[in-house]
A and B are shown apart, each in its own frame.
Chain A
Amino acid sequence: MSDDTSASVSSIDPIVLILPPRPELSRVARLASSALASIAGCTVDEIEDIKIAVSEILIALIEHGDQRAVRLEFSFDADTFVVVGTTETESFDLDDPDLGLCRTVLEGVGATPLIAVVDGTASITASVSRAITN
């Protein structure tokens, strides 16, 4: 953590949240991401984008995964706020139209999604660019 007295910090070690695949917990994840983004000094608009990114990641992994726990990892530096969601799955359909809608929304909020399935683990990385501040 920073040793200065400002309310925000420029970077932090990754923070991990592991959630059961329950839709009502999406709100918990958004609240956590919102708090972290606030600590990171993100603007209100950036925080809104991050909340949408978190929600879309959870939709994709819960609705298209195998109903197993979802791991969310949050990290940030001066340039980006990164959310990585993963879940173990054997049946993740990368071409599902609903997943395409998630991808469209993630791209729309500038979250540059990277969606992959490797060795039975589906992962979605969303990187939200931050405004340059002095």
Chain B
Amino acid sequence: MSGQMNNEALSTEIVDDAIIVHGDIDMAGSPVLEGAIIQQESAGHRVVIDLADVFFIDSSGLRCLLAASRRGQTNGATVILRSVGHEVRRLLEITGTTEQFDIQSDRE
């Protein structure tokens, strides 16, 4: 994260060791999410991402999630996605990457 500009479009918070994402996971938001993921990994936590408040994701966001998935798989841990909306699910399906994640629930 550069710290030079605030990214009002995406923010994250940690609740019960899960990363709660708010906003668009796009070119600007992906580095913010990546920082949160790496922080969780560094703390030894399994990566759990709640996407209930995510209504847009593009390939830059997907690359961020796939990178976390690859890192997790080297340690035998799959990235967990919770409250997945149709926007995220559709991108996973388009790119054939759904099986890279443990999708625990869809957004209600």
Taking Cβ atoms with an 8 Å cutoff, the residues of A that contact B are: 23-24, 26-27, 30, 48, 51-52, 55-56, 58-59, 62-63, 98, 101-102, 104-105, 108-109
Inter-chain CA distance A56–B88, complex, in Å, is 15
With A56-B59, A59-B58, A59-B60: A105-B95 Cβ-Cβ less than 8 Å: yes
Chain B interface size, as a band, is 10 to 19
Inter-chain CA distance A51–B56, complex, in Å, is 9
Cβ-defined contact, A109 with B9, below 8 A: no
| Complex interface: chain A residues within 8 A of B7 (CB) | 24
Inter-chain CA distance A63–B90, complex, in Å, is 23
Cβ-defined contact, A98 with B28, below 8 A: no
Inter-chain CA distance A59–B59, complex, in Å, is 8
Cβ-defined contact, B95 with A101, below 8 A: yes
Cβ-defined contact, B28 with A27, below 8 A: yes
Residue of A with least CB distance to B93: A108
| Complex interface: chain A residues within 8 A of B87 (CB) | 48
CB of B26 to closest CB in A, whole Å: 5
6 other A-B residue contacts (CB within 8 Å) besides A59-B58, A101-B63: A26-B26, A55-B27, A55-B60, A59-B59, A104-B95, A105-B91
| Complex interface: chain A residues within 8 A of B95 (CB) | 101, 104-105, 108
Selected A-B contacts with CB under 8 Å, 22 pairs: A23-B27, A23-B60, A24-B27, A26-B26, A26-B27, A26-B58, A55-B27, A55-B56, A55-B60, A56-B58, A56-B59, A58-B27, A59-B58, A62-B27, A102-B59, A104-B59, A104-B94, A105-B59, A105-B91, A108-B91, A108-B94, A109-B94
Q: Which of B1-38 contact A (CB under 8 A)?
A: 5, 7, 9, 24, 26-28
Interface string of B44-86 (1 = CB under 8 A from A): 0000000000001011101100000000000000000000000
CB of B23 to closest CB in A, whole Å: 9
Of A23, A102, A104, A109, which is within 8 A of B26 by CB?
A23
Cβ-defined contact, B63 with A105, below 8 A: no
In the complex, the 4 A-B pairs of residues with the closest C-beta atoms, listed nearest first: A108-B94, A23-B27, A55-B58, A24-B28
